[in-house]
Chain A
């Protein structure tokens, strides 16, 4: 075989002569005998059957790789022969010379392929106008079914969708898809007539898919050129072994699937299998990969995460099947869901029925109704949980499991809003047409909690906006003209899975409401230990369960961390692992970033004697004979804990708020005093730090919790409440201050200069509230005696000068009451004291009214004081009563008349020239002696004169009547 490798490519003639024999050999060696020629061929004539040839070669080669020459060689020997005669029959004239040469060899067997073709024709017809695009997930199903029957699984042959060929002579199937009895409705075709006179039509296929297949064949064939680092025999052995294991696994899985009622997927189960097998080969070749990747789960059943979570996510993803795979179903047709399905009818029907029942079941369970586009209610799944639980793995596996092609986005990608939009569009709206990825996409957005809010908004917009747009366009009937496919594409029709660590990042708030949220529970240590044991067995490490348990505890059941630690130890040459080693290790310990509550709890709780604290060895070395509960250890532990948590301020507050509620044992209060000393010290420390920017003092802050631990730690579980007393006090102080400042803001400056916030709260306010509550008779203020009236006036005056009034307010019970405005009562009154005397509702109402009136009066007075003209009028008015009582007040029109008269008086002031001499109008009287002499100006003048003399006066006001207009001041009304 190896010799042949070397000879290959040099000896063309030899090859031509012994083409047939070579083929047989090639089957065994999985060598593509005419690889170069095939490509040549393609260049000449891109016809569909060439694809068949190429793929036929592929199959042969693959089967060679399977390495079962003994059992299958005889069967396969028959196969290559038809491979060449079919083209010969189809277009002999154009065949390359080598085929012509070997024609004699092939001709005796040329009948057989044709029969195959004829046999396949039925199927081809039934498939109708389908083109040859490889099927998505359902195709896997049939193959795995055949796997279960056959001893030799052919799952590696997935490349160009030729899995079915197992049962029948290969090659013919691919051709059959294109062999038609009638000319196809669309596309090019070639007619072929066989010896019996049957005419068939061969549909032409585009080059692109073909070339993809060919190039694959080409690439694979290169391995044969000795480019593999590992000898081929070794590889083959390994593959055989693997294959065997897989068969066993697969059968197990199948039975499991059937039991768990998720029987629909077992076809898709192996969706990614072929690639994985290749990966496995690669893995064996390169031993330097991380174990985390090497031993990461490949199948649903291998997942370590919580079963319920897995199942929920899977069910949710399955909800999408209706829209992603089953467009026809939405139209209530009993047609098979995937359009690219290559299954036979019965299979399809089966699948269809399963589809339905499963959808129903999941619908019931998830209680999600499909919306108008047959999508689930929640369009996004949001997985959350601490790192190392397998969230990303789960998402990938489940998506693949459900027949999707996973498109991942994570923090390593740029996630600005527009890029995000672009990528979402690419992932959800498009579909790759090349290679093996021809499945619908499923977008996995990893580490979404780090994404900017803008990007998440884009995602949300994608979920929502498009619906409305779609709806709009539908109502408008614009899009109705377009193709249905176009229409549906504008809506999000692919599932999106988001993964985050922290569910409560502010940016995710919106998304949380619209997402199907799955929170990961911690991994079960038992399962993790089991898996770790398997891995270490694989790698020849000797471990005991106790050691693994310790490791799990140390890493807080973080799968990734566990495996990495194992690999690290393995890499160091450690082949044996025991508990002692694990505990003394300084690696594998997670940075203990615990929540505040757990820190508080640790501070107030003595460590249990049994429990050995992981990480204590950091300080104490290896001696485990010493009990881990000595004071020094506890102190060190708390110091470490607190300094890694870092939130000293909050921590100190929590301690302060809670320490008095602990069960304190000292009756002399010495401990309490000490604790408060410590608090005072840390306060001064903090103040110095902040004020002097001297942060080197920060290292002393963790000693406060340590001191509290030594003072107050007890064996019982402490009940810790969140410290909000200081925050509450702060907000309330701020509120009080605001009230006082609001009160001060409007106080008259002469008083303002005497009162500050401090003296207001200390001296004035309490007494002022007393002063403004005089005893008032509950009668109408009109009935008050002069003294009472005086009192009322003073009260109003006081309240006004201190900027107080009453405001009507409605209590939550619906009662109306008058409150001080600004409500300084909150600043002056303390709870638990006997209530002060309050005014009645009526009195307050009356006072409020009086205050309003007084305020208006003052404003009026101020206005008048500011306006000097009015002052003059006042003055004018004042002498009038003295002079004579004829005119109590100048009437409205008379005032105006006076103005007009005044105007005219001004008008007739003689003109003065530059030097102050009067200018005598010279020509004016002469030239304008005509009737129009007086002009518009002198009309006014004349009017003034006339009006001044008469009592009656009328002015036409262009339709606006101001006959009863009169200036009325507020003070006249009050």
Chain B
């Protein structure tokens, strides 16, 4: 575990670097040995998972850190076999049900049921041993809940209530907008916001100090900004900088992920020319992005961010509206490329018209 991200990850609520107040609240929450279902949400790299693991450790002690990978195979009613990996300790089980794709409903139904029911049997024996006043037997941690299908989420509703006595669910997702209302209302929502730039800087500094390196404040700030306050990314960038060049200099290049560079170039290509041929080229680039497992929502978001910087005035509103429209259809549909390209074409048409109008206005 030699990446800094992994090496210097805090393991207890007390050691968390930012949002200390929230950490305190969580500590109080589990003090009595019980807690409601939790829905932890926030952008990627804000430290949701870290917080959850700290919480569990607070509850069960260091035993939760002894993790093992379990391969579960579940047979769907249609006799289809679903293989899914879960990470488990003696006290909790972590499942990413969206790995199962369309059969995630079956995973939710079968897996949680079996866990909750089998834990009931162990319950009495554990009580007899007098495990420290913890009344929750097992915790199921579901990640990427927002990527679950609606069917799976509905399957979760009843399960959450039925096995309330023996198990707790912690749901983890990026955005609650794709989690259905009934589930949101059953959970205590905990939002983990991104750390501020200063907080990121301080974390970077402390890590570098532990590594015995000297990080110029300038560079730390630049890294924090470039990473978009995503702490995981910031730490990785910092380490990459370290590999690239040690003693740090304030102006050194900060390595970037390839897909972001590629997306930027795509946006530039769209702005520089608007024609069917260019659209064809853009299509190839969009395909390239999609085949690298970049989710279409992120592509459209990145594109809009880049394109908007080239627009002004009322054009911004128009483009943003178009983006929202196509993003919505993207969610409804199945073939992302159609909708992405439709957005690009729409932007091209709007932008071209705007430019021509501007040209006409200049002429007369």
Q: Which residues of A contact B (CB under 8 A)?
A: 656, 660-661, 664, 667-670, 672-673, 676-677, 679-680, 683-684, 686-687, 690, 725-726, 728-729, 732-733, 736-737, 740, 745, 748-754, 756-759, 761-768, 770-771, 773-775, 794-795, 797-798, 801-802, 827-833
Tell which of B276, B295, B329, B349 has the most Cβ of chain A within 10 Å.
B276
Tell which of B243, B288, B329 has the most Cβ of chain A within 10 Å.
B243
Contacts of B244 in A (CB 8 A): 770
When A676-B338, A680-B342 are in contact, do A753 and B87 touch as well, CB less than 8 Å?
Answer: yes
Identify the stretch in B152-160, B187-195, B250-258 within 8 Å (CB) of chain A at 4 or more residues: B250-258
- CB-based contact B2/A801 at 8 Å: yes
- Known pairs A672-B348, A676-B338, A684-B329 / 16 extra A-B pairs, C-beta < 8 Å: A656-B338, A660-B279, A672-B345, A673-B345, A680-B342, A745-B85, A749-B69, A750-B67, A753-B53, A759-B44, A761-B292, A767-B233, A770-B244, A771-B239, A801-B6, A832-B265
Q: CB-nearest residue of chain A relative to B211?
A: A794
- CB-based contact B337/A726 at 8 Å: yes
Per CB-CB distance, the 4 closest pairs between chain A and chain B, nearest first, are A766-B257, A749-B67, A676-B342, A767-B236
- CB-based contact A762/B257 at 8 Å: yes
- CB-based contact B262/A830 at 8 Å: yes
Min C-beta distance of B338 to chain A, whole Å: 4
Q: Which among A672, A761, A766 is the interface contact of B276 at CB below 8 angstroms?
A: A672
Q: List 7 A-B residue pairs with CB atoms under 8 Å apart, sorted by A's residue number.
A: A656-B338, A673-B346, A680-B329, A725-B287, A754-B49, A798-B3, A830-B288
- CB-based contact B68/A749 at 8 Å: yes
Bound CA span A673–B348, Å: 9
Bound CA span A759–B239, Å: 17
Q: Is B237 an interface residue (CB 8 A)?
A: yes
Contacts of A676 in B (CB 8 A): 338, 341-342, 345-346
- CB-based contact A669/B348 at 8 Å: yes
Q: Which among B256, B298, B333 is the interface contact of A683 at CB below 8 angstroms?
A: B333
Contacts of A827 in B (CB 8 A): 292-293
Bound CA span A266–B280, Å: 65
- CB-based contact A761/B293 at 8 Å: yes
- CB-based contact B230/A763 at 8 Å: yes
Bound CA span A831–B53, Å: 38
- CB-based contact B291/A768 at 8 Å: no
Q: Which among A683, A740, A762, A770 is the interface contact of B240 at CB below 8 angstroms?
A: A770
Contacts of B290 in A (CB 8 A): 729, 733
Contacts of A828 in B (CB 8 A): 257-258, 292
Bound CA span A771–B239, Å: 7
- CB-based contact B291/A736 at 8 Å: yes
Contacts of B346 in A (CB 8 A): 673, 676
- CB-based contact B291/A729 at 8 Å: yes
Q: Is B185 an interface residue (CB 8 A)?
A: no
- CB-based contact A732/B291 at 8 Å: yes
Q: CB-nearest residue of chain B relative to A761?
A: B293
- CB-based contact B335/A726 at 8 Å: yes
Q: Which among A737, A756, A764, A794 is the interface contact of B236 at CB below 8 angstroms?
A: A764
The main secondary structure of chain A at its interface with chain B is: helix
Q: CB-nearest residue of chain B relative to A796?
A: B2
Bound CA span A142–B348, Å: 85
When A664-B276, A801-B6 are in contact, do A771 and B236 touch as well, CB less than 8 Å?
Answer: yes
- CB-based contact B1/A750 at 8 Å: yes
- CB-based contact B329/A759 at 8 Å: no
Bound CA span A830–B341, Å: 19
The main secondary structure of chain B at its interface with chain A is: helix
Q: Is B353 an interface residue (CB 8 A)?
A: yes
Contacts of B2 in A (CB 8 A): 794-795, 797-798, 801
Which B293-335 residues sit within 8 Å CB-CB of chain A? 293-295, 298, 326, 329, 332-335
Q: Is B37 an interface residue (CB 8 A)?
A: no
Tell which of B67, B143, B291 has the most Cβ of chain A within 10 Å.
B291
Bound CA span A763–B243, Å: 17
Contacts of B69 in A (CB 8 A): 749, 752
Bound CA span A69–B142, Å: 105
Min C-beta distance of A588 to chain B, whole Å: 40
Contacts of A770 in B (CB 8 A): 240, 243-244, 255
Contacts of A764 in B (CB 8 A): 232, 236
- CB-based contact B237/A767 at 8 Å: yes
- CB-based contact B280/A660 at 8 Å: yes
Q: Is B144 an interface residue (CB 8 A)?
A: yes
- CB-based contact A830/B259 at 8 Å: yes
- CB-based contact B298/A762 at 8 Å: yes
- CB-based contact B276/A660 at 8 Å: yes
When A680-B329, A687-B334, A763-B230 are in contact, do A753 and B67 touch as well, CB less than 8 Å?
Answer: yes
Contacts of B96 in A (CB 8 A): 756
- CB-based contact A668/B87 at 8 Å: no
- CB-based contact A830/B258 at 8 Å: yes
When A673-B342, A762-B257, A763-B236 are in contact, do A737 and B349 touch as well, CB less than 8 Å?
Answer: no
- CB-based contact A683/B67 at 8 Å: no
Bound CA span A221–B22, Å: 114
- CB-based contact B338/A669 at 8 Å: no
Tell which of A673, A690, A828, A830 has the most Cβ of chain B within 10 Å.
A830
- CB-based contact B144/A740 at 8 Å: no
Min C-beta distance of A137 to chain B, whole Å: 61
Contacts of A754 in B (CB 8 A): 5-6, 9, 49-50
Contacts of B288 in A (CB 8 A): 830-831
Q: Which among A661, A687, A766 is the interface contact of B256 at CB below 8 angstroms?
A: A766
- CB-based contact A763/B53 at 8 Å: no
Q: CB-nearest residue of chain B relative to A799?
A: B2
- CB-based contact B293/A758 at 8 Å: yes
Q: Which among A774, A801, A830 is the interface contact of B243 at CB below 8 angstroms?
A: A774
Q: Is B283 an interface residue (CB 8 A)?
A: yes
Q: CB-nearest residue of chain B relative to A765?
A: B257
Contacts of B94 in A (CB 8 A): 753
- CB-based contact A751/B6 at 8 Å: yes
Q: CB-nearest residue of chain B relative to A752?
A: B87
Bound CA span A684–B342, Å: 13
Tell which of A660, A669, A832, A833 has the most Cβ of chain B within 10 Å.
A669
- CB-based contact B143/A829 at 8 Å: no
Contacts of B261 in A (CB 8 A): 830, 833
- CB-based contact B332/A763 at 8 Å: no
Bound CA span A323–B262, Å: 71
Contacts of B225 in A (CB 8 A): none
When A729-B291, A763-B44, A830-B292 are in contact, do A751 and B1 touch as well, CB less than 8 Å?
Answer: yes
Contacts of B243 in A (CB 8 A): 770-771, 773-775
- CB-based contact A763/B233 at 8 Å: yes
Bound CA span A765–B294, Å: 12
Bound CA span A257–B127, Å: 105
